[in-house]
Amino acid sequence: MTATRGLEGVVATTSSISSIIDDTLTYVGYNIDDLAENASFEEVIYLLWHGQLPTAGQLNELKEQLAKDAAVPQEVLNQFKTFPINKVHPMAAIRTAVSSLGLFDEEADVMEKDANYRKAVRLQAKLPTLVTAFARIRKGLEPIAPKRDLGFAANFLYMLTGEEPKDIAVEAFNKALVLHADHELNASTFTARVCVATLSDVYSGVTAAIGALKGPLHGGANEQVMKMLTEIGSVENVDSYIHEKLNNKEKIMGFGHRVYRKGDPRAKHLREMSEKLTKLTGESHFYEMSTKIENIVTSEKGLPPNVDFYSASVYHSLGIDHDLFTPIFAVSRVSGWLAHILEQYENNRLIRPRADYTGPGMQTYVPVEKRG
C-alpha cells in the first residue's frame, strides 16, 4: 500500500453537483461565469439541491421557506452570551451553535429523505441569522430579524447592520455567495460526506464541515489575506513584504490551489468587484496592493490567486468585520455541503480509506514496573 499525500488526484466519489474540468468550474453543468453574472444565490441553492434551475414558482416557494425558517431558538442565541464572546473566533462560535441547533430540531435524527431536505432548508435559513446575531451580540447590540421583502444577500447585510444595503452592495454580496456555494470535493465538503456516510445526521455533517472550513489552508485564508493587506499597509511596502515571505518559504495567503493550475475562475469576478468597491469607499490602495501582490506571486512563483484573495478586499469594502469573512464563506458553502450530504445519503457507502503504516514493527508488551 502506498499513500497519496493529501489524497492529491484521488477520485473519492461520483457526484453530479459541481465539476472542475480543465480549470472550468460548473454547478450542474452551468458555467460559474454565467451564474455569477446572472443568478441569485437562492436560484443557486435550488440548483445544487434539485439538479435544475427553479421555475419562478419553485423559486418563490424556496424563498418563502427560507424566510419562514430563519428564526433561531432563543436558547441558542442565549448560549452566545455564555461564551467569552470577545475572545472566541466567530467560526468556533458558529460551529458550536450549529451543533446546538440540532438539539432543538425534533427531526434531527429522522433519516427519511423529506426530513433531511427540511433540515437542509432550516440550516440554510438559520446560518445567516446565527452569524449576524453573533456579530451584533458581541458588540452589545440586539439581533435583527430578517425582512420578508428582502432577498437572501440583502437580508444578510440588513441583519448585520440594521440598514437596508445599497444595490451595489447587494449585487456584490450576492455574487460572492454564488461564487462560494460549491466546489466539488474540497476539504470541508469531503469532511461533511465522510461524517454523514456513517449515517450520522445532517447537523453533525455541517458542524464537522464548519470545523474543516475554519483552517487557514481552506476557508480561513480570506481573513488571513486581509490581515496581510492590513500589515502591509501601503503599495510601496508590497515588494519588500512579499519578497521577505517568499524568501523565508512562507505561504502567501490567497494563492495556490490543489486543483486549478492556470487559475481559479472565481478570482476574476472578485477582482473586478474589489476594484469597483474599493474605489467607491476611497480605499483603492487595498485593490492596488492586491494586484501588485498578484503580479509578484504569479510571475515569481507561478501561483495564481484563489477565491479567497480578492474576496478579502470585497468584504472589507462592504464594511464587514474581518473575522466574519470565513463565517460568510460558511453561509454560502452550507448550500454545497447540504447538496453533498443529501447526495451522499442517496447512494451511501461508509467512507473508510486505509493508512500506509510507518510505525515500529511487532513489539512485546512490557509491564509498566519493568520499563526502564
Ligand X SMILES: CC(=O)SCCNC(=O)CCNC(=O)[C@H](O)C(C)(C)COP(=O)(O)OP(=O)(O)OC[C@H]1O[C@@H](n2cnc3c(N)ncnc32)[C@H](O)[C@@H]1OP(=O)(O)O
Residue numbers annotated as active site: 257, 308
Is 18 near ligand X (CB under 6 A)?
no
Record the cell numbers describing residue 63, joined without a space: 424563498
Is 307 near ligand OAA (CB under 6 A)?
yes
194 class by beta-carbon count within 10 Å (0-12 exposed, 13-18 middle, 19+ buried): buried
Query: Which residues, other chains included, contact 260 with Cβ-Cβ below 8 Å and sequence gap of 6+?
Result: 20, 23, 304, 306
Which residue type occupies 197? A
Is 193 near ligand OAA (CB under 6 A)?
no
Quick one: 251 or 322, whose CB is closer to ligand X? 251
Quick one: 309 or 345, whose CB is closer to ligand OAA? 309
Is 258 near ligand OAA (CB under 6 A)?
yes
* Among positions 122, 183, 193, 316, the unique one binding ligand OAA when judged by CB under 6 A: 183
Is 340 near ligand OAA (CB under 6 A)?
no
8 A C-beta contact, residue 131 and residue 94: yes
Is 339 near ligand OAA (CB under 6 A)?
no
| Residue located via cell numbers 505561504 | 251
Tell me how many helices (H) and strands (E) the chain has. 16, 3
Q: Output the CA–CA distances (angstroms, integers) from residue 81 to 63, 84, 146, 265, 327, in the order listed.
A: 30, 8, 21, 40, 18
Please list every residue from 274 through 313 that binds ligand X, using CB under 6 A. Answer: 301, 303, 306-308
Quick one: 80 or 329, whose CB is closer to ligand OAA? 329
Is 255 near ligand X (CB under 6 A)?
yes
Quick one: 119 or 333, whose CB is closer to ligand X? 333
Name the minimum Å distance from CB 258 to ligand OAA.
5
Nearest C-alpha neighbor of 351 from the set 8, 6, 4, 14: 14
Is 217 near ligand X (CB under 6 A)?
yes
Is 98 near ligand OAA (CB under 6 A)?
no
* Cα separation, 254 vs 371, whole angstroms: 50
272 class by beta-carbon count within 10 Å (0-12 exposed, 13-18 middle, 19+ buried): middle
Name the minimum Å distance from CB 351 to ligand OAA.
17
Which residues in this chain contact ligand OAA in the complex, by CB under 6 A? 183, 186, 258-259, 306-307
Which residues in this chain contact ligand X in the complex, by CB under 6 A? 6, 217-219, 221, 251-258, 301, 303, 306-308
